[in-house]
Amino acid sequence: MLNISIISDEISQDFEHALKVIKELGANYVELRTLWNRYVVELSNSQIHEIKNLIDRYEVRVSHVCSPTFKIYIDDEKGYREHLSILKKAIEISKFFDLGYTRIFTFWWQGSLDLYIDRIVEKFQPAIELAEKEGIYLIVENENSCFIGTGTELQQFLNKLKSKWVKVLWDPGNTFFARETPYPYGYNKIKDYVLYIHLKDAAVENGRFVFKPIGKGMIDYEGQLRDVVNKGIILSLETHYVPPSGSKEEGTRESYAGLVKIIKKILGEI
């Protein structure tokens, strides 16, 4: 009832090693972001086919092809044109892996959303036209370093945009860092638009935001997962947590164990 993915670079830049760990842990999907120290949208066609051969060998599926589209300043016209090309590449790779969506951001934060929302909507139009042409949804990730970091801001943006081709990549950890209660408050603002979820936990310790293993932070992941257990949404582990004197792989293993513990509790009650 739950589709679990892990972002490969949260384990290792060695993609085959990451797949071995994903298979060992029991996840059934892998999310592609950076591999071999390069963004997936920068890889050659032969490297994309190498990825396909490896995932077939390890019997997992690709859940998402990440791109950094619109992680730029809104006034950067050269960057804007480059990022529209990046989006085209992300869509091409997504379709190669039989995916119907790819993520997009909302430009680096420079001030209150109300001051910029009309310009963001305008800048989104060529991306939406491309998405409609290709039959691919754009899933906006709430990112605390961008204009839209919370569920409330996502709701405001979607209502203003009014496009059926724009949905949500929900990240409870990012909305926590943006100072909104992720669940239920933020999630309830946009739950009807969510196609995909990134999982990371966090807390405030001595006045500082810190990443934590899933289940050991301040985010209500039991409530969040209970809400999506039967919705077919892919849950992708993006822990960002690295234990003291440890590695990203160890952080991912610890977070995956915490995630499984919560899932077993939920499924045991159904």
Structural domains in the chain, sorted by start: 3-192 (3.20.20.150)
- Give the percent of the chain with pLDDT over 90: 97
Average pLDDT over residues 129-134: 98
Task: Give pLDDT, residue 243.
Answer: 96
DSSP count for the chain of H helices, then E strands? 9, 12
Task: Give pLDDT, residue 245.
Answer: 85
- In the block, tokens 């790819």 appear at 102
| Strand partners of residue 6 | 30, 237
Rounded Cα gap, residues 249 and 237, in angstroms: 12
Task: Give pLDDT, residue 2.
Answer: 82
Determine contact, residues 256/24, Cβ cutoff 8 Å: no
Residue 49, pLDDT above cutoff 80: yes
DSSP helix/strand/coil, 216: coil
Task: Give pLDDT, residue 171.
Answer: 98
DSSP helix/strand/coil, 210: strand
- Give the percent of the chain with pLDDT over 70: 99
Chain centre to alpha carbon of residue 215 = 19
Task: Give pLDDT, residue 208.
Answer: 98
Determine contact, residues 230/3, Cβ cutoff 8 Å: no
Average pLDDT, the chain: 97
**Digit-coded pLDDT (tens) for 223-259:** 999 999 989 999 999 999 999 989 999 999 999 999 9
Average pLDDT over residues 184-195: 98
Amino acid at 105: F
Helix residue spans in the chain (DSSP H): 15-25, 45-57, 77-96, 113-134, 151-161, 172-177, 187-190, 221-228, 248-268
Residue 270, pLDDT above cutoff 70: no
Question: Tokens in use for 136?
Answer: 């691919």
Average pLDDT over residues 106-118: 98
Question: Tokens in use for 219?
Answer: 């985010």
Average pLDDT over residues 21-32: 98
* Residue 109 pLDDT grade (very low, low, confident, very high; cuts 50, 70, 90): very high
Residue 1, pLDDT above cutoff 90: no
More confident residue, 163 or 269: 163
Average pLDDT over residues 6-13: 98
Cβ neighbours, 10 Å, residue 215: 18
182 burial (CB, 10 Å; 0-12 / 13-18 / 19+) is buried
Please work out, in degrees rounded to the nearest 5, the angle formed at the alpha carbon of residue 92 by the alpha carbons of 88 and 98: 140
Average pLDDT over residues 63-81: 98
Rounded Cα gap, residues 21 and 8, in angstroms: 9
Question: Tokens in use for 85?
Answer: 């090309």
Amino acid at 56: D
Beta-strand pair 201-205/208-212: antiparallel
Residue 146 DSSP one-character state: B
Q: How many residues does the chain have?
A: 270
Residue 180 DSSP one-character state: S
Task: Give pLDDT, residue 179.
Answer: 98
